[in-house]
């Protein structure tokens, strides 16, 4: 189950963080996302070791922490998409698929002419779409 | 668990360092720092202290290259239960440090030392170092050969050398002790136990296995000693044996321990050389170590003791060994495993240490966020300990995380970033970039706020008010939009509580509220303008200011306002002001105890002021100060004393914040949410301070604000000019500028000139005569606005008043200052705006010409007939009333009637004066007429008799042209027409200029009405009649000389009786009458005179037709020739039959009239007879009694 998704700007500024848990652990998830940036930074700075091809946007598992696994995705504009999940065995293909849809949603959101680049994404449509994607991730992995 | 573990920890000899006697902490630290420098002691250096008592068990000791590693446990440490397992955990030596001057009794120190050493049962070497002993202590022989070592006072170098020798001695002793221990262990006398296997070994039935196990453990211990003794080869041999035995006996724990030792031996043997093969070997072996530690986990005593901490320690050791960027992934995996293991740790302090180590390793790896995350965990563990020291530790750990979370205190950041960013362009860009990044990262507000709150909490608990203040300030300043008003109030009270525990005047690097931005730098007030002096020119100010009619010139470099902003000149000793805007976006009242400009260059005295800001408000305030020294001056921000602490607020910070807010990167713009309008970014100009200049201050004497004048009012005002500077004024010049310059009638330039040089403090009064301009003509909009504002009539309007410019300057060189080599101090310009308010005064409604026709009486006085022509001599100047002589009449007298209205609320008095400037009078006679009073809101008419303007002679010069004009009109000669017209107009103007209508209101308001145009239009049609005399004047008188004499005789006594009789004629009497005909021209005139006498009932008998003529008689065709400018008298007699009022009328037809006369008469054709008629004269005929 996905507990948190986040969009982090190219200056490591959070653009969108949404947790999908009932528990009051938003701060913890913020910390997890924040810490994952270390790994993203490290992979970006040493690209030859992390990913076989330069154009690979999917960063894979960033790090496991406590009960969570953190996956990362880096767009060409250095926007990071972060996924925190509690599922222990996640298929890479599922995560890739999720990130592709998530990326498309993000692109649509920032294509809004009223969106100011660098500002937090406040679009409700985006939020709805992301939550749909998150729900479908759970379904597809189950099925 | 222990902090700071690494693979090499296994080969370090622990030495406890304890303070002895009474020793100051800094001094102890100083001695310790000298000591800890000797963390390795090479074997070669200790060989001289080493004596071989028996054959050394360390067969392969590398005497030439090896060394002993020492680890100083400052303050000592408690004994570990795992000492048997790992020998390096033992404290082998105790060093006491004593400062002799503060603890003179060395015996008691030694006693204390011996007691202290007792708690270190494993220690084999004890030394007490006593520094700086006195002479008596040095001479005390009782310590010779003991453990007390005195370090005689000497310079640092000598002391260090002495210390080094002592350490080598200790190292040698330790080496010898290790040899003993090894020999003892080989004998197998001791049973080595760990807390882990205390019960398990007892239950063991297999004696052989137990013996082997004991042997294996002994071998490991020997290996440990070999490692400590710096002999890795020996150690490796023993470890190999131990590993074999442990593997056989299934003693996994000791197997892992031996493996750890073997890795350490391997590393020492490699002497710091690292390569891939070695790394792989270490990794492989350590993975095995970790595995075996895990294997040694025994379920039944897991509650009490667990090898988990060793497993984690091993993990950390490996992580530390591998900790490099290239291997980040492996290290992260190790650390993640370690962090996961933390939950199983029983001891809280173990977990603390683990987290500390994980945080440090992540930090080393460059994973600052993770390091910060674990540091925060550490801080939370500290906070759980609920004591003050732990809280302080928590606070300090959190302070380390602030950089990763971008909430660091400004005290810890580079000040250069704030200061220099404007200086160097490249650096500035970089700094800007850094700043932008920090701005972006500052959006993790939820995390950041938590960190700051925790710092605040730990600082409060730990009793560090300054840190608490700083944290609360950062929290409030950065996150106020996310904090509820109640929370803001809580922070405000936290700030004030913290400040109560701070000494007054404490400074903090982190500003709290309010937000301060630069509002504007007022340029010099017009009073203090500095003008560059153009040396060598008399008008030295010329060319310094942009001149010309254009506000913008394309040739001037840059924007004029821009350039003036870049350079600002302040003068030493003259107060200046800077406007700043403060904002308090929070929900509480903010009281700023004092705020003043912060100037680093130290040549500025700033004046603090205190401000109070209501919730959610902003305020623009002026901060002032006085530059004190010549040089450049920078104002980076303000010093604010608020919430009991002094902070410096940089303008740049707020500017950045506002930029961020504009880009949507920062939560909120504090000024905008306070309702302050958006402001252009104000740059701090380069301010240079120049030496003192003279300073003129002006004021208009006797009026505070505007000089209120009525239209046309003339007043002399005094402008007081004082030198408020410290330098005398040597040059000064007044010039005029602005609109309505002609309203200044005179300025006493000489007064200023004569008072130069104007010493400091001196004052001059310059009289200036002002005349108020006409309202309606110059600013019609003002007049219209007056209509709106009712009858107040006051016009305060900028820009229509004239301005006095006073350029002034001090001496040509700075007094006694060689540093300014040859530059001329600038001059200054004082702008004195004469704030004139012209209020509407009297206004002319209309002007018209009236004629008054009063017939004269026929009297006896002959001379009076001529008054019409010669009245100039007869009337005294002081005659203020116009008198109509009954014997002269005022036939043809014309009055100029001015209708004036007074819309003001004061009373005006109108005085008319006529100024005669005739060439035949040496003095200018003036006719003053009595004053007319016009009350407020009333209209009055003023009559001006136009009686004295008639020329004495009907001169051709004027009329020829006039007549020519008539003739020329047919010829259409435009040139002469024009010239004659001009002449004509000039004469009218001349006439008009003689009439002055002055008014007076109150005591000191007086002026002149400007009504020339009105008079001119009124006079235009009939100016000829006013100006020119008739060619002939007629007069009548009774020819009776006796009557005249009689009248003259009795004039004084019986004037009334005689006056009644005078001029009276009886009926039925022959009355001799003379008619006087005067020729006013310069030529002989031949006339045919006719005299009509009628008795009429009506007033006007001249026209004849309407009047009822009762009696009439005509005397006609009296031909006479009148010489030029002479009179001709024609006597005749009348016999009245009926008493009554008769009118005598003389008329003449001029024969052979010349051009001039025709022109005067306005004749149209040459054949027309020129008819001349005199005024009617009354004659009263009394009846006979």
- Those residues with Cβ within 8 angstroms of residue B1168's Cβ, 6 or more apart along the chain or in another chain: B1158
**How far is residue B699's CA from residue B833's CA, in Å, rounded to a whole number?**
10
B949-970 average pLDDT score: 48
Q: Region B287-309: what's the mean pLDDT?
A: 72
Phi, psi (5° rounding) for residue B1149? Answer: -105, 125
Residue in B336, B437, B447 nearest the CB of A34: B447
Residue B367 in contact with partner chain A when CB distance is under 8 A: yes
Nearby residues of B784 by Cβ (< 8 Å), 6 or more positions away = none
Note whether A14 contacts B444, CB cutoff 8 Å: yes
B interface test, pick of A118, A120, A121 with most B CB neighbours within 10 Å: A118
Q: Judge whether B1005 and B715 are in contact, CB under 8 Å.
A: yes
Residue scoring higher pLDDT (B662 or A137) = A137
Helices H / strands E in chain B, number of each: 33, 46
Would you call A118 and B329 a contact, using CB atoms and an 8 Å cutoff? no
- Considering only A23-32, B52-61, B538-547, B553-562, which range has the smallest mean pLDDT? B553-562
Q: Is B447 on the interface with A (CB under 8 A)?
A: yes
Q: Which of B532-546, B586-600, B997-1011 has the highest mean pLDDT?
A: B586-600
Question: Is residue B1023 very low, low, confident or very high in pLDDT (cuts 50, 70, 90)?
Answer: low
State the pLDDT confidence band at B1061, using cuts at 50, 70 and 90. Answer: very low
Chain A residues whose beta carbon lies within 8 Å of the beta carbon of residue B440: 9, 11-13, 118
Nearest CB neighbour to B663, from listed A26, A34, A118: A118
* Range of A105-109, B81-85, B756-760 with top mean pLDDT: A105-109
ipTM metric = 0.86
- DSSP-derived 3-state class of residue B851: strand
Which residues on chain A are in Cβ contact (under 8 Å) with B444? 14, 30, 34
B450 contacts on A by Cβ (under 8 Å):
27
- What residues of chain B lie within 8 A of the CB of A12, using their CB? 437, 440-441
With an 8 Å Cβ cutoff, is B1142 touching chain A?
Answer: no
Write out chain B residues lying below 8 Å of A49, CB-based: 326, 329
Nearest to A27 among B367, B437, B450 (CB): B450
The SS3 of residue B800 is coil
Rounded to a whole number of angstroms, the distance from the CA of B367 to the nearest CA of chain A is 5
| Facing B446 at nearest CB: one of A9, A26, A63 | A26
Least confident range from A32-36, B764-768, B825-829: namely B825-829
Record: contact A38-B368, CB cut-off 8 A: yes
Contact of B432 with chain A, judged by CB distance below 8 Å, is answered with: no
- B707-720 pLDDT tens trace: 777 777 777 778 88
Domain regions of chain A by residue span: 2-136
Q: Which pLDDT belongs to residue B132?
A: 83
Mutation site for A-interface testing, chosen from B665, B666, B667, B668 by largest number of A Cβ within 10 Å: B665
- Our CA-based measurement puts residue A143 at a distance from the nearest CA of chain B, in whole angstroms, of 31
* pLDDT computed for residue B500 by the predictor: 85
Q: Per-residue pLDDT tens for B741-771?
A: 777 777 777 777 777 777 777 788 888 887 7
Rounded mean pLDDT, B1154-1181: 70
Distance CA A13, CA B666 (A): 11
How much of chain B, in percent, has pLDDT values that exceed 70? 70
What does the pLDDT read at residue B1046?
Answer: 39
Inter-chain contact B446–A35, Cβ cutoff 8 Å?
A: no
CA of A65, closest CA in chain B: separation in Å?
A: 7
Please indicate whether, in this complex, the C-beta atoms of A11 and B326 are within 8 angstroms of each other: no
Reported as a single tens digit per residue, the pLDDT across A68-94 is 888 888 888 888 888 888 877 778 888
Which of B359, B435, B446 has the most A C-beta neighbours within 10 Å, making it the best mutation to test the interface with A?
B446
Q: Say if B368 is an interface residue toward chain A (CB within 8 Å).
A: yes
- Determine, for residues B665 and A119 on separate chains, whether the beta-carbon distance falls below 8 Å: yes
Q: How far is CA B1062 from the centre of its chain?
A: 90
B444/A37 touch (CB, cutoff 8 Å), yes or no: no
Tens-place pLDDT, residues B1078-1110: 777 777 777 777 877 777 654 444 455 555 666
pLDDT at B875: 39
> CA of B436: which chain A residue's CA is closest?
A11
- Rounded-to-5 percentages of helix, strand, coil across chain B: 40, 25, 35
In B885-973, beta strands by DSSP E: 893-901, 908-915, 926-928, 932-934, 939-945
Residue B579: in which H helix or E strand, if any? strand B576-584
Compute the distance between CA of residue B691 and CA of residue B825 in angstroms, rounded to an integer: 8
Q: Do B444 and A9 touch (CB under 8 A)?
A: no
- Which pLDDT score, from 0 to 100, does residue B882 have? 54
For A11, the closest of B329, B362, B441 (CB atoms) is B441
C-alpha distances in Å from residue B765, one per residue of B715, B747, B768:
15, 11, 9
B437 close to A (CB below 8 A): yes
Distance CA(B515)–CA(B599), nearest Å, equals 18
Lowest mean pLDDT among B10-14, B249-253, B298-302, B789-793: B789-793
Among A49, A64, A116, the residue with its CB nearest the CB of B664 is A116
For residue B993, give both structure tokens: 């200029």
**The whole model's pTM is what?**
0.64
Are B440 and A118 inside 8 Å of each other by CB? Answer: yes
More confident call, B794 vs B656: B656
CA distance B122 to B926: 132
* CATH code for residues A2-136: 3.30.450.70
Residue B472 reports pLDDT greater than 60:
yes
Contact A13 B332 (CB under 8 A): no
Task: Give residue-wise pLDDT tens across range B965-990.
Answer: 444 444 444 455 555 566 667 777 77
Chain B environment of A11 (Cβ under 8 Å): 436-437, 440-441
Q: Which residue of A has its CA nearest to B665?
A: A119
Considering only CB atoms, which chain A residues are within 8 Å of B336? 63-65
Nearest CA in chain B to A46: B326
Chain A residue with CA closest to B439: the answer is A13
Q: Which residue would you say has higher pLDDT here, B230 or B1039? A: B230
Contact criterion met (CB below 8 Å) for B308 and B345: yes
Q: Inter-chain contact B663–A13, Cβ cutoff 8 Å?
A: no
Contact present, B847 and B1018 (Cβ < 8 Å): yes
Q: How far apart are CA B63 and CA B1115, in angstroms?
A: 172
Give the one of B329, B368, B437 whose C-beta lies nearest to A11's C-beta.
Answer: B437
Chain A CB within 8 Å of residue B1163 CB: no
Contact call for A63 and B436, based on CB within 8 A: no
Residues of A at the B interface, defined by Cβ within 8 angstroms: 9, 11-14, 26-27, 30-31, 34-35, 37-39, 42, 46, 49, 63-66, 116, 118-120
Tell me, what DSSP letter sits at residue B756?
-
Contacts of B78 (CB under 8 A, 6+ apart): none
Among B261-265, B543-547, B1116-1120, where is mean pLDDT lowest? B543-547
Query: How confident is the model at residue B77, as a pLDDT?
Result: 80
Optimal mutation site among A4, A11, A19, interface B, most CBs of chain B within 10 A: A11
Starting at the edge strand that comes first in sequence, how are the strands of the sheet with B686-690 ordered?
A: B567-571, B686-690, B631-633
pLDDT in the model for residue B559 = 41
CB contact under 8 Å between B329 and A116, yes or no, is no
Q: What's the DSSP call for residue B682? A: P
């Amino acid at each position: 189950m996905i507990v948190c998704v986040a969009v982090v700007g190219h200056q490591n500024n959070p653009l969108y963080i949404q947790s999908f848990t009932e528990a009051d652990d938003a701060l913890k998830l913020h910390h997890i996302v924040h810490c994952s940036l270390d790994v993203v930074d490290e992979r970006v700075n040493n690209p030859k070791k992390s990913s076989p091809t330069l154009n690979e946007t999917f960063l894979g598992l960033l790090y496991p922490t406590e009960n969570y696994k953190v996956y990362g995705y880096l767009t060409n504009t250095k926007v990071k998409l972060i996924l925190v999940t509690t599922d222990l065995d996640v298929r890479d293909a599922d995560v890739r698929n999720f990130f592709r849809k998530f990326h498309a949603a993000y692109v649509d959101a920032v294509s809004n002419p009223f969106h100011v680049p660098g500002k937090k994404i406040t679009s409700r449509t985006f939020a709805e779409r992301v939550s749909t994607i998150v729900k479908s991730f759970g379904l597809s992995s189950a099925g | 668990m222990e902090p700071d573990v690494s693979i090499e920890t296994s080969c370090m000899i622990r030495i406890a360092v304890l303070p002895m006697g009474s020793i100051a902490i800094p001094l102890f630290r100083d001695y310790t720092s000298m000591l800890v420098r000797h963390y390795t002691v090479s074997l070669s250096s200790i060989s001289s202290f080493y004596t071989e008592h028996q054959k050394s068990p360390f067969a392969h000791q590398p005497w030439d290259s090896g060394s002993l590693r020492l680890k100083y446990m400052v303050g000592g440490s408690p004994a570990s239960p795992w000492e048997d397992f790992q020998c390096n955990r033992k404290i082998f030596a105790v060093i006491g440090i004593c400062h002799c001057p503060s603890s003179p009794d060395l015996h008691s120190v030694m006693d204390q030392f011996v007691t202290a050493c007792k708690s270190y049962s494993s220690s084999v070497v004890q030394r007490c170092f006593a520094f700086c002993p006195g002479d008596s202590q040095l001479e005390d022989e009782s310590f010779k050969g003991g453990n007390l070592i005195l370090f005689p006072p000497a310079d640092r170098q000598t002391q260090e050398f002495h210390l080094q020798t002592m350490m080598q001695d200790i190292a040698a002793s330790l080496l010898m002790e290790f040899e003993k221990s090894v020999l003892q262990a080989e004998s197998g006398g001791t049973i080595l136990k760990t807390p882990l296997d205390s019960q398990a070994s007892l239950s063991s039935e297999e004696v052989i296995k137990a013996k082997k196990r004991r042997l294996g453990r002994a071998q490991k211990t020997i290996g440990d000693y070999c490692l400590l003794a710096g002999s890795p080869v020996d150690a490796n041999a023993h470890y190999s044996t131990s590993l074999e035995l442990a593997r056989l006996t299934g003693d996994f724990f000791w197997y892992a321990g031996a493996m750890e030792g073997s890795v350490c031996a391997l590393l020492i043997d490699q002497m710091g050389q690292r390569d891939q093969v070695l790394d792989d070997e270490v990794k492989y072996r350590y993975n095995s170590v970790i595995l075996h530690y895990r294997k040694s986990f025994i379920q039944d005593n897991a509650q009490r003791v667990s090898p988990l901490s060793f497993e984690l320690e091993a993990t950390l050791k490996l992580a530390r060994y591998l900790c490099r960027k290239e291997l980040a992934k492996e290290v992260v995996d190790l650390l993640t495993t370690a962090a996961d293991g933390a939950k199983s740790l029983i001891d809280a302090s173990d977990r603390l240490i683990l987290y500390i180590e994980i945080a440090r390793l992540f930090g080393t790896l460059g994973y600052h966020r993770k390091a910060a995350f674990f540091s925060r965990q550490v801080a939370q563990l500290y906070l759980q300990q609920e004591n003050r020291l732990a809280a302080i530790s928590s606070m300090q750990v959190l302070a380390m995380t602030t950089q990763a979370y971008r909430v660091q205190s400004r005290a810890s950041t580079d000040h250069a970033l704030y200061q220099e960013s404007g200086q160097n362009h490249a650096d500035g860009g970089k700094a800007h970039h850094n700043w932008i990044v920090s701005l972006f990262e500052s959006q993790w507000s939820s995390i950041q706020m938590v960190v700051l709150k925790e710092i605040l909490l730990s600082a409060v608990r730990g009793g560090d008010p300054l840190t608490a203040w700083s944290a609360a300030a950062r929290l409030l300043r950065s996150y106020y939009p996310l904090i509820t008003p109640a929370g803001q109030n809580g922070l405000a009270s936290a700030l004030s509580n913290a400040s109560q525990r701070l000494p007054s005047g404490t400074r903090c690097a982190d500003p709290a509220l309010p937000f301060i931005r630069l509002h504007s730098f007022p340029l010099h007030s017009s009073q203090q303008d500095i003008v560059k002096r153009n040396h060598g020119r008399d008008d030295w100010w010329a060319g310094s200011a942009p001149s010309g009619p254009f506000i913008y010139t394309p040739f001037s470099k840059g924007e004029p306002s821009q350039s003036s902003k870049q350079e600002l000149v302040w003068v030493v000793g003259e107060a200046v002001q800077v406007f700043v805007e403060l904002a308090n976006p929070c929900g509480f009242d903010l009281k700023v105890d004092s705020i003043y400009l912060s100037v680093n260059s130290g040549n500025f005295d700033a004046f603090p002021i205190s401000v109070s800001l209501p919730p959610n408000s902003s305020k623009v305030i002026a901060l002032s100060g006085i530059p004190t020294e010549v040089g450049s001056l920078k104002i980076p921000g303000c010093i604010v004393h608020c919430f009991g602490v002094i902070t410096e607020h940089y303008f740049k910070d707020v500017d950045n914040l506002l930029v961020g807010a504009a880009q949507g990167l920062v939560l909120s713009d504090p000024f905008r949410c306070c309702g302050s309008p958006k402001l252009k970014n104000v740059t701090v100009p380069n301010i240079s301070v120049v030496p003192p200049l003279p300073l003129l201050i002006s004021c208009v004497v006797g009026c505070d604000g505007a000089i209120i004048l009525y239209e046309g009012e003339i007043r002399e005002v005094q402008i007081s000019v004082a030198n408020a500077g410290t330098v005398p004024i040597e040059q000064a010049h007044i010039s005029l500028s602005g609109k309505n310059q002609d309203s200044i009638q005179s300025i006493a330039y000489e007064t200023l000139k004569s008072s130069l040089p104007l010493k400091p403090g001196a004052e001059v009064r310059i009289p200036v005569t002002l005349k108020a301009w006409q309202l309606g003509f110059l600013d019609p909009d003002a007049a219209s606005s007056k209509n709106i504002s009712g009858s107040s009539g006051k016009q305060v309007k900028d820009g229509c008043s004239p301005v006095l410019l006073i350029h002034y300057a001090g001496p040509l060189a700075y007094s006694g200052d060689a540093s300014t080599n040859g530059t001329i101090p600038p001059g200054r310009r004082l702008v004195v705006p004469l704030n004139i308010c012209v209020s509407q005064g009297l206004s002319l409604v209309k002007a018209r010409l009236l004629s008054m026709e009063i017939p004269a009486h026929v009297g006896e006085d002959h001379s009076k007939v001529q008054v019409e022509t010669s009245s100039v001599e007869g009337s005294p100047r002081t005659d203020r009333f116009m008198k109509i002589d009954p014997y002269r009449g005022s036939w043809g007298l014309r009055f100029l009637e001015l209708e004036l209205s007074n819309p003001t609320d004061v009373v005006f008095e109108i005085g008319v004066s006529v100024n005669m400037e005739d060439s035949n009078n040496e003095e200018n006679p003036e006719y003053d007429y009595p004053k007319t009073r016009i009350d407020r809101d009333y209209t009055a008419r003023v009559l001006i008799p136009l009686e004295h303007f008639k020329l004495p002679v009907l001169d051709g010069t004027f009329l020829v042209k006039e007549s020519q004009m008539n003739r020329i009109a047919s010829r259409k000669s435009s040139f002469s027409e024009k010239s004659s017209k001009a002449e004509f107009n000039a004469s009218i103007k001349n006439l008009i200029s003689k009439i002055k209508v002055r008014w007076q209101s109150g005591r000191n308001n007086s002026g002149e009405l400007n009504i020339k145009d009105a008079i001119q239009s009124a006079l235009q049609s009939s100016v000829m009649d006013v100006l020119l005399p008739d060619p002939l004047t007629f007069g009548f008188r009774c020819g009776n000389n006796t009557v005249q004499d009689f009248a003259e005789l009795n004039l004084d006594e019986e004037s009334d009786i005689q006056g009644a009789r005078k001029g009276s004629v009886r009926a039925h009497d022959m009355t001799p009458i003379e008619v006087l005909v005067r020729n006013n021209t310069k030529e002989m005139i031949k006339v045919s005179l006719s005299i009509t006498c009628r008795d009429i009932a009506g007033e006007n008998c001249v026209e004849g037709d309407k009047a009822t003529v009762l009696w009439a008689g005509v005397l006609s065709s009296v031909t006479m020739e009148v010489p030029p400018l002479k009179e001709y008298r024609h006597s005749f007699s009348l016999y009245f039959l009926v008493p009554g009022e008769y009118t005598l009328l003389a008329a003449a037809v001029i024969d052979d009239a010349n051009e001039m006369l025709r022109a005067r008469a306005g004749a149209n054709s040459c054949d027309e007879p020129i008819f001349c008629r005199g005024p009617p004269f009354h004659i009263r005929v009394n009846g006979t009694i």
